[in-house]
Amino acid sequence: MAITRRKTLARCLPLIALAAVCGMGGAQAQDSYPSKPIRLVVPYPAGGGTDIIARLIGTQLSQRWGQPVVVENKPGASGILGNDIVAKAPGDGHTVLLGITALVQIPALYKKVPYKLADLAPVSQIAKSADLLMVPRSSGVTTLQQFVDKAKAAPGTLNYGTYGNATSSHMNGERFKQKAGIDITHIPYQGSGPEMAALLGGQLTLAFVDATGAYPHIRSDKLNILAVTGAQRHPALPQVPTMTESGYPGLEANGWFGMFVPASTPKAIVDKLGAEVASIVKSPELNKRLTDMGLIAVGSLPDDFKAQVDKDAAHWKSVAESARISMD
C-alpha cells in the first residue's frame, strides 16, 4: 500500500509542479501588465461613436496605468479589417479591439470571414444602445399599431429607413415586417445622419434610428417616437414603450460597444483589463459622457460579456436567416 502511494505521488509531482508554474505565470503576467503601450484598434473611421468611446476609455486607461494607449482607426469591409487585425495579434493584452454589435452579426451575413468569433475574447461590454422607431409628426401616427394599420391598408406604399444594409436597424426592420405582417419598402442610408435628414425632410414614413444618432432630435416637434428596441425602455425615454410592450416581440436585443482581445490572451490579463474598463465605465465622468451620447453605460466583466456575446450571436444569426439578409 505504501509503495503504491509513493508511486502515485511520484506520478503527480510533475503535474503539481506544472500547475504551480502556470499559476505563477498567470499571476506574473497580470502583475507586469501592461508593460508597453497599448494599441486600441477601432474598425471604423475617426469621429464616429466607436472612435469617441475608444478615445474616452483609452485616455482613462493611460492615466490609470501610466502607459500610452494609442487609438488606431482601421476601417474597411464593415469592420472586418480591424477585427481581423486584433484576432491575429499576439495574445499579450497589448492589442485591443473596440468593437460593436456588427462583430457578432458578420458571421451570419458573410460566408467568408478571415477570422472566427472564437478568435476574440470578450473583455467588457462598455455600453448598449437601442433603435428608436420614429415617424414624421405630420403623419398623424402616434402609436406603432396605428402605423401597422396604415401599412396594412396600403400595402407596398410606405417605406422605412435604416442606417445601412445589413445593420441592426435593417435586421430589426425586417423582423418587424415579419412580426407585423406588413409590406413596406426598405431604404438604406450611409449612417444615421443622412437617415435623420431624410426623415426630417419627409422622405421616410418610418425610420429605425440608433439612439446615438437620434439623441439630438428626440425632443424635436417634427417627430414622434413610437417604440424602442431592446428588452427595457430607454432611460432617456421612459414614456416610450418597447417593441414587445407594443405587441411585437423578437426585437429585444440591444446594440452594444465592447472591448475584445485575441483569444490567446491569458485569462489573468483579460480579467485585469476587464475589471479596469468596468471601473472606468462606472465612474461618474464616463457614465455621464455615455449618457450624453444617448447610450446606456454597462461596464460588465469578461464572463458576463461573453455570455451576452454568445446569446446575441445566436439571435442575429436567427434574424439574418429568417429575413434572408446576406452580404454575399
Q: Where are the CATH 3.40.190.10 domain residues in the chain?
A: 131-228
pLDDT (tens digit, 9 = 90+) per residue, 274-288? 999 999 999 999 999
What's the rounded Cα separation, in Å, for the pair 259 and 96?
Answer: 7
Residue 52 dihedral angles phi and psi, to the nearest 5°:
-60, -45
Q: 38-129+254-323 belongs to which CATH class?
A: alpha beta
Q: Where are the CATH 3.40.190.150 domain residues in the chain?
A: 38-129+254-323
What's the rounded Cα separation, in Å, for the pair 325 and 275?
Answer: 37
What's the rounded Cα separation, in Å, for the pair 92 and 109?
Answer: 30
Q: Compute the average pLDDT of residues 259-272.
A: 98
What's the rounded Cα separation, in Å, for the pair 286 and 40?
Answer: 18
Does the pLDDT of residue 2 top 80, yes or no? no
Confirm whether pTM is higher than 0.75.
yes
At which residue does the C-alpha cell 503504491 appear? 4
Which residue in 91, 61, 97, 69 sits closest to 257, CA to CA?
97
The helix (H) or strand (E) run that includes residue 22 is helix 2-32
* Grid cell of 43 as nine digits: 474598425
> Which of these ranges, 33-37, 44-48, 258-262, 283-287, has the smallest mean pLDDT?
44-48
User: Average pLDDT, whole number, for the chain?
Assistant: 92
Residue 85 dihedral angles phi and psi, to the nearest 5°:
-60, -45
Q: Compute the average pLDDT of residues 222-246.
A: 96
CB 80 within 8 A of CB 328: no
Does the pLDDT of residue 268 top 50, yes or no? yes
What's the rounded Cα separation, in Å, for the pair 229 and 249?
Answer: 9
What's the rounded Cα separation, in Å, for the pair 26 and 20?
Answer: 10
Q: Compute the average pLDDT of residues 146-163.
A: 97
Sheet holding 120-129, edge to edge: 69-73, 38-42, 95-100, 255-262, 120-129, 296-297
What is the number of helices (H) and of strands (E) in the chain? 11, 11
CATH level 3 topology of 131-228: D-Maltodextrin-Binding Protein; domain 2 (3.40.190)
Does the pLDDT of residue 14 top 80, yes or no? no
Q: Compute the average pLDDT of residues 114-131.
A: 97
Percent of the chain topping pLDDT 90? 84
What's the rounded Cα separation, in Å, for the pair 62 and 117?
Answer: 28
Residue 224 dihedral angles phi and psi, to the nearest 5°:
-120, 135
- Phi/psi region, residue 246 (left: phi>0; alpha: psi -120 to 50; beta: rest), is alpha
**What is the 3-class SS of 99-160, one letter each residue?**
EECHHHHHHHHCCCCCCCHHHEEEEEEEEEECEEEEEEHHHCCCCHHHHHHHHHHCCCCCEE
